[in-house]
Structure 1
Amino acid sequence: MEQLQWLAVVRHGQSTGNVTAQDAETGGAEEIDIPERDVDVPLSDLGREQAEAVGAFLAKQPDDERPGIAIVSPYLRARRTAELALAGTGIRAVVDERLRDRELGILDLLTAYGVQQRLPGEARRRARLGKFYYRPPGGESWADVLLRLRALLRELREDHPDGRVVLFGHEAIVLLVRYLAEGLSEAELMAVAHDTAVANCSISSWRRQDGELRPELFNSVEHLHRDGTPPTKQEDVDAKVD
């Protein structure tokens, strides 16, 4: 089977929704007051700085080490991150809807407290099924997201054999790409998710060795601090309860 030479995934920069969601969670609110559709949530000022720091990291890589193509979530915060990070690099960017964030259906814009208060039955069902298989009404489980990611990665292997590809997506995308790249079990993925808050504009990557993709970086933010960008002020979550 054809294999990529190098695969990386970048979480989008801090968004205005991240800030609002964090304030709602810590403030004990039931609902996250975000006026835009999730697809239209923009980057914050810090998020733009983080994206530019990713660009500085890419610019420092030797020509034969830079990605040949970028695949980008259609959500504004991811597209803007990619635009800022890829500016001047000559790297072609392609938007692919399969990299969109996990859809939360009726849980969208509710805090964890809000789900408990307004939808206690769903809170119990989620606790029983676990994050991997729980599908909120109108939304997706992590297993659902994996189906679209499997299809995308298969196409990338076929279309770019020996290629170097960078993805721009969301927190769940980072975790689930790791699940696929490293062949994790559900339990191993849940342990990683429990212990890791995927940072905005972090870089996770895998390099081919002996015919297989091997871990290189995970949730790395060294490039943000090295370039003088302030560290993320929170263990940011996307503008949704997930």
Structure 2
Amino acid sequence: MSVASSSTSHHHGPLDRQAPAPPRPLSLMVTRHGQSTANAAFAAAEAVGALDVGITCRDADLSLSALGREQSAALGRRLASRADGPLPQSVWVSPYLRTQETAELVLAEIDRAGLPLPEVRTDERLRDRELGVLEMLTSAAIELHHPTEAKRRRLLGELRWRPPGGESHADVALRLRSLLRDLYEAEESRRVLLIGHDAVVLMLRHILDELDEDAMEEVYRSGCVANTSITRWTRDPAGDLRLDCYNTTPHLP
């Protein structure tokens, strides 16, 4: 039977109706953790083209630097001031140590202000991008020891390139889509803060703002996601989340 003569080709009924929009939070804010010891070590190493950053612990076990603790407390004071609107009612946090420490410092400032503490939930899907065999390697070390991967990265672009044993940004987006489905159901009409990593912030832009690969390349070129920067979406009258601000740091000097 041809497609044109199929009995289903002219079906009209419930299947033709547009599915209702899933529930959405009132606002969704995401921040990258405060500066970690690795962030500081990498900045120093990259500045001089060093091959080693001197870090031996797991990525998940990296703690905040002294500056990172100050940044996290400053973010907490900003939220407690309610300069950006009402406090979040829920906080979803990556399980990594630096994000957990960031959350603790943010909540301590809210508590110090005598304000109600939000509910806190740790979710594995907010973890940082896994870099596999390239974890803790500087750009110079990758070029020297893994030139083929450096070439593949330039060819494929940040969204699609997957290091051996690691994740592409698109892989991160896949687990975040799963997280958002659960978050929408659990946090309907609530204000939510996510505390994660740079890849989490970038891939939420990709998903929520429906940015294609070319648009994401422009986001990458605009600069890195700053530690404790604020990116926020709010629900519009149609029920969709619309970007309010991206990568802003009004709480930092």
Q: By the TM > 0.5 criterion, same fold? A: yes
Give the whole-Å Cα distance in 1 for the aligned partners of 2:41 and 2:25: 38
**Is 1:18 matched with 2:39?**
yes
Give the whole-Å Cα distance in 2 for the aligned partners of 1:222 and 1:70: 20
Which AA in structure 2 matches 1:219? N
In the TM superposition, what is the alpha-carbon distance from 1:57 to its structure 2 partner?
1.1
In the TM superposition, what is the alpha-carbon distance from 1:32 to its structure 2 partner?
2.3
Give SS of 2:53's match. coil
- Residue number in structure 1 paired with 2:18: none
- Residue number in structure 2 paired with 1:229: none
- Name which structure has the greater RCO, CA cutoff 8 Å, separation 6+: 1
Give SS of 1:206's match. strand
- CA displacement, residues 66-115 of structure 1 (integer Å, 9 cap, x when unaligned): 11110001111111001100121411211111011000001111111111
Give the whole-Å Cα distance in 2 for the aligned partners of 1:179 and 1:164: 21
1:109-120 alignment to 2 at 5 Å?
A: 109-120=136-147
Give the whole-Å Cα distance in 2 for the aligned partners of 1:31 and 1:137: 19
Give the whole-Å Cα distance in 2 for the aligned partners of 1:195 and 1:61: 28
Give the whole-Å Cα distance in 2 for the aligned partners of 1:96 and 1:132: 23
* Unmatched tracts of structure 1, length 5 or more: 226-242
**Structure with bigger gyration radius:** 2
**Is 1:152 matched with 2:179?**
yes
1:35-54 alignment to 2 at 5 Å?
A: 35-54=56-75
In the TM superposition, what is the alpha-carbon distance from 1:56 to its structure 2 partner?
0.6
CA RMSD of aligned residues (A): 1.5
Give the whole-Å Cα distance in 2 for the aligned partners of 1:215 and 1:147: 20
Which AA in structure 2 matches 1:216? D
Give the whole-Å Cα distance in 1 for the aligned partners of 2:138 and 2:162: 17
Instruction: Select which of 105, 130, 146 maps to 1:103.
Output: 130
TM-score w.r.t. the length of structure 2 is 0.85
Which AA in structure 2 matches 1:221? T
Identity across matched positions, percent: 47
1:44-193 alignment to 2 at 5 Å?
A: 44-61=65-82, 65-87=86-108, 88=111, 89-193=116-220
Give the whole-Å Cα distance in 2 for the aligned partners of 1:217 and 1:223: 14
TM-score w.r.t. the length of structure 1 is 0.89
- Residue number in structure 1 paired with 2:241: 213
Give the whole-Å Cα distance in 2 for the aligned partners of 1:182 and 1:127: 24
Moved over 2 A (4+): none
